[in-house]
Amino acid sequence: MTILGYCTSSLMFAAAAVAPASHAASNAVVAGLGHDLAQRLCTSCHLIEPGAVNPPGHVGGPTFQSIADQPKSTERSLRRHLRTTHTNAMVPLEMPNPQLSEDELIKIIGYIISLRTQQ
């Protein structure tokens, strides 16, 4: 093997080893930004902290933890839910469309998915 071949192989191996770690770090950053955003936009109706449980008789939305732990909660389903208006004249207290930008959607969905305890 030539020196160039050895260096190329070593760099490819190093990049492959670092990629999962950098992806995990990126997910953690997005989740952290999503938490901060959810704290500003969602806490009037939702408990957003990890492990939070709604008290008996709670009339607001589900906790982010309970949303994250639902098997049907995927990035796609959360995106669809957050892009849809659920309120109408018959059900005025359902979740409104929060009018999130694409960047905000990515962050909040990333945070909710990061809460998942069931794999």
Give me the residue label for tokens 């909660």.
Answer: 73
| pLDDT score recorded for residue 72 | 95
| pLDDT score recorded for residue 40 | 96
Asked if CATH classification 1.10.760 holds for the domain at 3-114, the reply, yes or no, is: yes
What is the mean pLDDT, run by run of 10 residues, along the chain of 119 residues?
A: 49 46 74 96 94 91 96 95 78 79 97 87
Q: What is the DSSP string of 21-90?
A: HHHHHHHHHHHHHHHHHHHHHTTTT---STT--PPTT--SPPPHHHHHTSTT--HHHHHHHHTS----SS
| pLDDT score recorded for residue 56 | 93
| pLDDT score recorded for residue 10 | 46
Q: Where are the domains of the chain?
A: 3-114
